[in-house]
Amino acid sequence: MGRSYIVEDDVEGYLSKLCSQLAGPVTGLLIGQSTVQRDFVVMTTRTPQNDESADGGKSVDKEWVSEHARQVSRMLPGGLSVLGVFIISESDAKDTLTTLRQLVFSVENLISSERLWTPADDDVTDCVTLHVNPKTRKTVCRTFDVKDPKSVAKPADWKYQSGVCSSWTTVSCCLSVDLMVPLPENMAFTRNMDDCLKEELKVWAQQIERGVCLIDGKKLPEDSELKAGQKKNVRQTISAQLLITPDVQTAADVVQRCGGCVSVRGAIHSRAFLHSNKPKAKLAEKLLKRDIVSTVATRVQMLLEEPQKQNEENKGRKQTEQSCLPRRVFCPVKSTGPLSVCDYQFSDEGLSEMTDRFKEMLDMDAAEEDLDATREIIAEVIESEATEEEEPAEENEMLDPWRNNYIGVAMATAVALLALAASIVYLSDV
């Protein structure tokens, strides 16, 4: 009994368009949710053009497709993931299947190499492949088990349906993050920081996975269903809470030498989607926790991938640098319906850069007004140069990261009013 994919109607239209438009093989990604009970595909996106490719994009470039998948995977909130790959090509079915198999394994390997959360036993490990013949419009759907390197293609059903994007329950929360990790004494500045941070993130990820998840203020038994899933076509959102306890430190030496430290402090907005048909509390908890871990790990990764300023050797002076992690911005998948994708905005980027990226990565035509940038605020950061080791009045935690635009405006207004009041007093003083 093979898998059965229920696919949003729009996907059919999109694939048709690609068939008629382009020459040469076209690849892309299939995005949705696969659980033990059901498989849903909610959207697709073609692989972007590779301007630097040797043959002008005539052949399928496995690395390019995988890299695209990796970046798209970062743009999917909890519950949504890259389920597989499609290819539109007139080639022989057998050759195409081999290509698809290679792509699907490569994509899965690259995406899972970035993951910090541990896969669960009840995760679905089947990935879907779709072969569309542009002339005959015939579609062939097969799945591969990516856990098994020797797996063979299994037939699967591919059914179009309307409204696949509408009946989803959203679980979300806003979570504080507070990590502090020491840097080793002898440092190659950037490289060691990367490793230390990644190790600490792994520990933090386990803390999150162990955390107690509350839905509507209660800890629900694992098999219970979320009540919100009952009504059809009504936007269902559930807020969750997470209670954590710190890891117990077992190091013998409580005080250790270090070459400095890295901290990540702030908060993030986390979101996960479950299909509304009998959504289980256990699944909601699993998907939300994974999103929490992914969103923080992705942002740290993105920051570390930014070109680093070359710092001179530390001459015994204290050097402090602060960088903002990018903030999360959401974009709805369809104008109605709860599903959204997301991207990350650095402080020096504008919303137009977001819409460009949604177009490039996900082939989505979004306008700036459609974007939801209200969930997270970018904190302002003070650029500090290397300081002498004076007697500090307070520790470096005193740098205030919480100022935001609103306070700035309020201050300016207050000053203006004071000035006005002062001038009135002055003028009326006879």
Which residues, numbered 282-311, are part of the site for another protein (CB under 8 A)?
296, 299-300, 303, 311
Exactly one of 127, 171, 354, 379 binds another protein (CB under 8 A); that residue is: 379
Number of residues that bind another protein (CB under 8 A): 80
**Minimum distance from residue 207 beta carbon to another protein (Å):** 9
Residue 354 neighbours by CB distance under 10 Å: 21
The residue (of 52 and 223) whose beta carbon lies closer to another protein is 223
The residue (of 140 and 183) whose beta carbon lies closer to another protein is 183
Exactly one of 9, 247, 353, 368 binds another protein (CB under 8 A); that residue is: 247
**Minimum distance from residue 413 beta carbon to another protein (Å):** 21
Instruction: Copy the structure tokens of residue 93.
Output: 């079915």
Distance from C-alpha of 386 to C-alpha of 315, rounded to nearest angstrom: 10
Exactly one of 268, 297, 333, 361 binds another protein (CB under 8 A); that residue is: 268
**Minimum distance from residue 60 beta carbon to another protein (Å):** 37
Residue 101 neighbours by CB distance under 10 Å: 19
62: helix, strand or coil? helix
Strand order in the sheet with 126-132: 154-155, 139-145, 126-132, 81-88, 26-34, 39-46, 4-8, 157-161
Query: H or E segment at 14?
Result: helix 9-21
Single out the segment in contact with another protein by CB under 8 A; choices: 141-149, 171-179, 227-235, 361-369: 171-179
Nearest to 344 by CA among 380, 314, 373: 373
The residue (of 126 and 376) whose beta carbon lies closer to another protein is 376
Single out the segment in contact with another protein by CB under 8 A; choices: 24-32, 104-112, 159-167, 176-184: 176-184
Name residues contacting another protein, limited to 303-362 (CB under 8 A).
Answer: 303, 311, 314, 316-328
Q: Categorise residue 229: left if φ over 0, alpha if ψ from -120 to 50, beta otherwise.
A: alpha
Residue 62 neighbours by CB distance under 10 Å: 16
The residue (of 109 and 384) whose beta carbon lies closer to another protein is 384
Q: Is 173 in the site for another protein (CB under 8 A)?
A: yes
**Minimum distance from residue 183 beta carbon to another protein (Å):** 7
Single out the segment in contact with another protein by CB under 8 A; choices: 10-18, 44-52, 278-286, 395-403: 395-403
Name residues contacting another protein, limited to 196-225 (CB under 8 A).
Answer: 208, 211-212, 214, 217-219
Residue 319 neighbours by CB distance under 10 Å: 14
Q: How far is CA 144 from CA 45, 108, 154, in A?
A: 20, 11, 7
Single out the segment in contact with another protein by CB under 8 A; choices: 156-164, 230-238, 351-359, 394-402: 394-402
Residue 110 half-sphere exposure toward CB, CA atoms < 13 A: 20
**Minimum distance from residue 355 beta carbon to another protein (Å):** 20
The residue (of 178 and 368) whose beta carbon lies closer to another protein is 178
Nearest to 41 by CA among 122, 129, 149, 172: 129
**Minimum distance from residue 245 beta carbon to another protein (Å):** 5
